[in-house]
Structure 1
Amino acid sequence: MASQTDLLGLIEQQYPSLSPSAQQIATFIQQHPIALVSKSTAEIARLSGTSKATVSRFFRQLGFDSHQQVKDAMLSMREKGLPLPTGEGESDHFQQEMRNLALTFEGLKPETIEQVVSLLADSQRITLIGYRNAYPIALHFRQQLKQVRSTVRLLPQPGQSLGEDLIDIPANEVVVLLGFRRRTRIFKRIVDALSDHTTILITDPTGQVYSNKVDHLLICHPGQISAFDSYAAPMSLISFLANKVFERLGDQALRRATQIAAMYDQLDELEP
């Protein structure tokens, strides 16, 4: 029987090797972990768009003999303080957002955050890559990091191709990839092209298919109750990381932020 101490971590670990149908179940469970306790195998199959047989195989692939063992594992995790919702009904947008944030930050491993912050603070240059809905998030991340350190760039530039920039990335540069569900077809090829570089991927649960191809993986939960995904969690994560980089750089970050503020005044760019 699988360990009962970190069921969601076990799902994340197994995600790349799962079949597409099993990945649907995994994503559903990561967004609705309480369903493992409150729903039957048939209900999980219906809600994840799969079958009872696929759900049962999914549990066995994780190392559990039965759905009851999975329930026992979840109850054990709740007793250890994992913040899980108390029911499936979500009455308002605020509760959904709180849930997305709780799932996101509970899933962050301290050692991963420490390594990522070190890379963001100390690497000679940072390249951020984001397409479609990830582009404005990557743009905001660049703006935050530029406040505390130099040599941070965003790709692709509007209307430009990417090949000439990827070929020039040196070994001492860290690449932050941002890609959320409904990623462009080129995203997989970009990940493959960067296999020899230091990479950080910020994504939603479906991006776990790339966990074996990147150095660090940070999962954000956009929710799946409403018609449109929420990006409160990735934006909060970016704020968290930027503040951690600021703390790590200390006086160096403060001097740069002060110099930038003085330049704003000199150019009269901002309202008083």
Structure 2
Amino acid sequence: MTSSHDTQSLEARIHVHYTALPPAEKRLGDLLLSFPGDIATYSAGELADAAGTSRAAASRFFQRLGYKDFNEARQQAREAKRWGSPVYLASASSPGGKTSSGLASQPIADHLAQESLNLTRTLEAIRPDHLRDAVDAIANATRVHVAGFRNSHMLAGYLQRQLQIVRADVALLPKSGQTLAEDLVDIAEGDVLIMVGMRRRVHIASRILEIARQQGARTLLLTDTSLADPIRQATWTLTCEVRSQSLFDSYSASMSVINLLCTSLFHHEINRGQERLKRIETLHDELDELDAISWLSQRNLGNKSTD
């Protein structure tokens, strides 16, 4: 049986024992309270050296906190990093300067390398048949519902806007100021629900997918690699890499997948999509909503006046 102590985070355990820690162990506690995620990267010896204490003191420290050993504490920290906790993703490494190990960092090059890796892994992992089937379902759906929470709500909003350019009846959930029940009741057979659920998801996301399936809709899940078993969550799953060189997740690969999905939908229904685009542009002109044309005209007039 798992005790409540077993489920406590590293920081919570340190706070419980902090006042009773000997000075040598307290220095290690101070270091880990500042950057608990570093335990997932460095060895016990490296952490002891950084805290100015001995390896024996470090061993006593982790046992005092209720861990079997250092490795158990490290595994817990790695799970927290995988889940995307910013506290654990933060590091004592300073961008543009020296890392805590003394090695020089290269923030732009490191960032570019990680972004390139995210894009490559994400796009190469997409099964063409899954993409084709999902796009076909979205094209032929009676209605499309797009949902997302926290950071995923931003991605869901962008996806809904792009889909709405290509086809009608695309709704974003949850609507502002409204509870979910009023939106979920309209999901029916022949619809498609797209859930954007990047890591640190809310529990309700899985429940919404379940309700949509029960009501006859097919579902597409856009998620990340932290989801242990995404296959059972939806009809189709597209997995995106979100790792970065900082405590902030990267959504460049997610945006690329959204672009791919919407572009594929446009080409799937190119005649209908092109006609819808023309009608939208006509309405833009009638409403004088966009200032790009007037701005270009003014610039051209200004150029003529200087000739």
TM range (shorter): 0.5 to 0.7
1:264–1:208 Cα change, 3 Å:
farther
2:186 aligns with 168
Q: Quick one: distance in 1 between partners of 2:74 and 2:244?
A: 14
Residue 226 of structure 2 corresponds to residue 206 of structure 1: yes
Q: Structure 2: any 5+ residue segments left out of the alignment? A: 1-69, 77-105, 294-307
Q: Post-superposition shift, 1:235? A: 0.6
Alignment check: 8 A CA contact 1:195 1:213 kept: no
1:166–1:213 Cα change, 3 Å:
same
What's the TM-score, normalizing by structure 1?
A: 0.66
Aligned-CA RMSD value: 2.1
Give 1 or 2 for the bigger CA radius of gyration: 2
2:259 aligns with 239
The partner residue of 1:217 within 237, 240, 243 is: 237
The partner residue of 1:178 within 175, 196, 202 is: 196
The partner residue of 2:206 within 178, 185, 188 is: 188
The partner residue of 2:149 within 131, 134, 155 is: 131
What's the TM-score, normalizing by structure 2?
A: 0.58
Q: Which has the higher contact order (CA 8 A, sep 6+)?
A: 1
Partner amino acid, structure 1, of 2:135: V
1:78 aligns with none
2:163 aligns with 145
Partner amino acid, structure 2, of 1:141: L
The partner residue of 1:50 within 65, 71, 75 is: 75
The partner residue of 1:117 within 114, 127, 135 is: 135
Q: Quick one: distance in 1 between partners of 2:213 and 2:233?
A: 7
The partner residue of 1:108 within 109, 126, 144 is: 126
Q: Post-superposition shift, 1:259? A: 0.6
Runs of 4+ with deviation above 3 angstroms: none
Alignment check: 8 A CA contact 2:111 2:244 kept: no
The partner residue of 1:268 within 276, 288, 300 is: 288
Q: Quick one: distance in 2 between partners of 1:157 and 1:176?
A: 15
1:208–1:117 Cα change, 3 Å:
farther
Residue 276 of structure 2 corresponds to residue 251 of structure 1: no
Alignment check: 8 A CA contact 1:179 1:207 kept: no
Q: Post-superposition shift, 1:208? A: 4.3
1:92–1:210 Cα change, 3 Å:
closer
Q: What does the per-residue CA deviation read over 1:27-71, in whole Å, with 9 as the maximum and x for residues that have no partner?
A: xxxxxxxxxxxxxxxxxx97x9439xxxxxxxxxxxxxxxxxxxx
Alignment check: 8 A CA contact 2:221 2:234 kept: yes
1:49–1:219 Cα change, 3 Å:
farther
1:93 aligns with 111
Identity rate, percent: 34
Q: Post-superposition shift, 1:209? A: 3.0
SS at match of 2:147: strand
SS at match of 1:92: helix
1:253–1:135 Cα change, 3 Å:
same
Q: What does the per-residue CA deviation read over 1:113-155, in whole Å, with 9 as the maximum and x for residues that have no partner?
A: 1101111211111000111101111111111111111111101
Q: Structure 1: any 5+ residue segments left out of the alignment? A: 1-44, 52-88
Q: Quick one: distance in 2 between partners of 1:143 and 1:121?
A: 15
Alignment length (residue pairs): 190
